[in-house]
Amino acid sequence: NSLIDIYNQFLAALESLKEFWDAVDEIDGKTWVLEPENPTRSATTRRIAIGNNVSVSIEVDPRHPRTLPECYFLGPDHVVNPLRIKLNNTMHLWDPEISLLQNLKDLLEIDFPSRAVLEKSDFAKDCGICYAYRLDGATPDHVCDDPRCGQPFHQACLYEWLQCLPSSRQSFNVIFGECPYCNKVRKSHENE
């Protein structure tokens, strides 16, 4: 009898996560997920490509997958700041009756690129310092803010590069120095 109870509790737990899995399955199937590259069923975050060196990292609540997820935009300020503002100005329009992905599309007024339509090289560029896309499991998540440059970097590579420059300066855990490509002054946090 207790084994049947445990089995029924297990089925109830699985059923309670069905809506979450449906939401992330839709994201995995209809967008280009940069991270995790091969998501497990327990993965609650997705870093979704938006455009050239621009992405959004979302954290979905498995118990409440129809609520607005935590969103963190990655990319050059001149591209991500308008997206942040748009999300902040439209988040009150979030509709729990429609899918997570459709809500994100509606609020941000964008169509996310799909694996079926684009190549990885269309928006995922290698780090400008180590020339690799993956470094210790991380992808380039910092981009030069100069619209003419837009070179992506791993946080660790950029921090190490800026530390080595004689012209760089540090204030607490933030270091300021020049982009290795365009020489524009930029900053990096030690443990961002």
Place 186 in a pLDDT band, splitting at 50, 70 and 90. low
User: 11-25, 61-75, 147-161 — which is least confidently predicted?
Assistant: 147-161
Averaged over 136-157, what is the pLDDT?
85
Fold category of 2-121 in CATH: Ubiquitin Conjugating Enzyme (3.10.110)
The angle, 0 to 180 degrees and rounded to 10, between the axes of the packed helices 18-30 and 100-108 is: 50
pLDDT in tens, 83-92: 999 999 999 9
Fold category of 125-189 in CATH: Herpes Virus-1 (3.30.40)
Is the pLDDT at 111 greater than 90? The verdict is yes
Is the pLDDT at 101 greater than 80? The verdict is yes
Is the pLDDT at 122 greater than 70? The verdict is no
Mean pLDDT for the chain? 88
Q: For the chain, which residues make up each domain, given as ranges?
A: 2-121, 125-189
Is the pLDDT at 191 greater than 70? The verdict is no
pLDDT in tens, 124-146: 788 999 999 888 888 888 888 88
Is the pLDDT at 185 greater than 90? The verdict is no
Whole-model pTM: value is: 0.75
Give residue 166's pLDDT: 85
Identical topology for domains 2-121 and 125-189: no
Q: What DSSP string runs through the chain?
A: -HHHHHHHHHHHHHHHTHHHHHHHHHHHHHS-EEESSS--TT--EEEEEEETTEEEEEE--TT-TTSPPEEEEES-HHHHHHHHHHHHHHGGG--TTS-HHHHHHHHHT-----TTT--GGGT-PPPTTT--S-BTTB---EE-S-TTT--EE-HHHHHHHHHH-TT-EEETTEEEEE-TTT--EEEEETT-
Is the pLDDT at 190 greater than 60? The verdict is no
**154 in Cβ contact with 141 (< 8 Å):** yes
- CB atoms under 10 Å from CB of 109, counted, come to 9
Give residue 189's pLDDT: 59
